[in-house]
Chain A
Amino acid sequence: MASIVAYIEVREGAMTSPSRFVVAEARRIADAAGATVYALLTLGPCSHVEIDQLAAQVSAAGADRILCSSDEILAGVPLDVTHGMLLAQIAERLRPLLFFFPAGGVGIELGPPLAVRIGAAFFPNASVDVRAEDRTPEAASQRIVLHRWRAARDGQRRIDVADLERPVVATLAAATVSRPLGEACAEVEMLPCPEPKVARPRNLASEITAEDNAVELCSAMVWSAEPVSPAMRSALRADLPPEAVLVVDGETTPVSLHATSPSEIFIVASAAKTDDVYLPSQAPGAKVMRAGVPGHVSAAAIEDLAAAIDRARPASAKASS
């Protein structure tokens, strides 16, 4: 049976939400086309209990089988030099149709070298369609088609996995998964991690940057053209649901903004600025919306949005805050 590999990124001991979406997408495709979903965990040294806890989350997200490598080599920054050989070994063994990476930057780091190594196509910020193809009198066959925008946004690239006869390595957008798609009991296969062929990187320092982290993993982004006062900023952030972030133009680390791929972007423009803004890369399925009325720009757009959120919040949520 064909296989799909979903790379699971773990940050601060927990599976990221874009990783959950990657498994859900793999599940959706596998159910339609008939394939096995393998989720791949690459971890530093971990106890059996920690691995089992993560495996239960991954399994509940929709994986059929879980591959896990836990090794000191994998403990630091996820780089091709430390992770690449393991990924290539898995691709060589399973010969997957699709190898998915979640939004957040890990696919930028690991995806291109993997694609080059295994002779695969690479689709960054892809959306996936599964279409039934009429083959009367035979049963309909399912076509798996990946799309991505060209960077110039003047057209898309599309690839039908069956026509390519090679695997496709893709990074997907971040989106919310509302319910578990599997049971928390998939089998875990432990894999040894190959020793890198060249000198390993030496970690000198590592610093958590919570805001950048949230931006990289967000599935919805509220983008403000204008500076936002500290009071308004903390009020909005408290009101926004998890996986939704407020980004103020010019304040977020560009490299984090470049790694994010939200499925919904809400532009809150002002009188001073137009829509000519740097927005993050988007998958073809992403929606970009502007708050307001065409031809009218509010002088206090972010306050208008905050007031609208306050009106829309259920009374119970207002009471608890």
Chain B
Amino acid sequence: MIVLVCLESPEPGRAGRAALSLARQLAATAQIVALSAGGPVASASLELARQGGAHRVIHFDEPALDRADFFTLGMVLAEAARHIKAALVIAGEHSDNEGQGLVPAALAHHLGAPIVARVQDVERSTAADDAVVLTVRAGGRKNRIAMALPLVLSTSIATNATPVAGQSSRPGVETITFAQLGLDHSRVVPRPDLLGTRVPLAAPRIQYKSFDEVARMLLRR
């Protein structure tokens, strides 16, 4: 089984790190391929993947991807997943910057695969080769479910981190391009309308309240 982990570029976000950590749970029985789309080849994301237990590390070398919207990025990542024949794709739920959280869903949409969010653990199914068993937090419960592949998983900022086993050698960085996937640049069309207008604004300051004020605020609820 090939597992594709998608990392943001150039810096991995907290959720992206969690995605790599989740993928490592399958490292003994699957080939882990990390992919970072756009950005420079010497990026923190690619270095993290090289150090972090990936068997292959791929840089999607297309500067145009730096201005791609979530829908286009999802389409490109889905094409990359097909190209490397990934049965399972794992991505962080959202970036640390925009934080909208639509890339994994767009990826699943273009791949034609189901998506499961809030995944805490993943393991190979012992009952079927083409299935995985997931631990998912949903509906107020911790659930274990078996799902058939192909599948897209997203995970949030912290899952059960697995330590990186000592790697004898770090993989080199491979490169893929639009041409290899049969894509052309005209499909990279930013759609800022779906993001909304950006309003620069400092996060509100934390207000101080006396213990008695806090108590009254809590009890008046």
Q: Which residues of A contact B (CB under 8 A)?
A: 9, 11-12, 76-81, 104-106, 108-109, 112-113, 115-117, 120-124, 146, 148-159, 164, 166, 176, 198-199, 201-209, 212-213, 216-217, 219-220, 222, 240-241, 243-244, 253-256, 258-259, 264, 266-267, 275, 278, 287-294, 301, 304-305, 307-309, 311-313
Contacts and interface: CB of A to CB of B under 8 A. Distances in A.
Contact of A256 (B136, B137, B210): B137
A256 B147 CA distance: 22
Contacts of A146: 196
Contacts of B93: 108, 258
B138 interface: yes
A241 B214 contact: no
Contacts of A203: 143-145
A96 B86 CA distance: 36
Interface string B185-199: 000000001111111
21 contacts: A11-B140, A76-B145, A77-B136, A80-B105, A105-B118, A105-B138, A108-B156, A112-B102, A115-B102, A116-B102, A151-B96, A157-B197, A201-B146, A204-B146, A212-B140, A217-B140, A255-B158, A255-B159, A267-B206, A288-B206, A308-B215
Contact of A123 (B140, B148, B196, B199): B196
B194 A12 contact: no
A311 B211 CA distance: 10
Given A112-B101, A241-B221, A290-B209, A258 B141 contact: no
A213 B118 CA distance: 14
Contact of A219 (B97, B114, B136, B221): B221
B115 interface: yes
A151 B95 contact: yes
A184 to B, nearest CB: 23
Interface of B: 71, 74, 93-102, 104-106, 108-109, 113-118, 120, 133, 136-148, 156-159, 193-204, 206-212, 214-219, 221
A128 to B, nearest CB: 13
Main SS of chain B's interface residues? mixed
**Lowest 3 CB-CB distances: which A-B pairs, in order?**
A151-B99, A112-B105, A159-B196
B221 A220 contact: yes
B139 A309 contact: no
A109 B141 contact: no
Given A112-B105, A288-B207, A209 B142 contact: yes
B145 to A, nearest CB: 4
B198 A157 contact: yes
Contacts of A157: 100, 195-199
A303 B189 CA distance: 56
Nearest to B18: A254
Contacts of A11: 139-140
Contacts of B158: 254-255, 258
A121 B105 CA distance: 13
Contacts of A266: 209, 214, 217-218
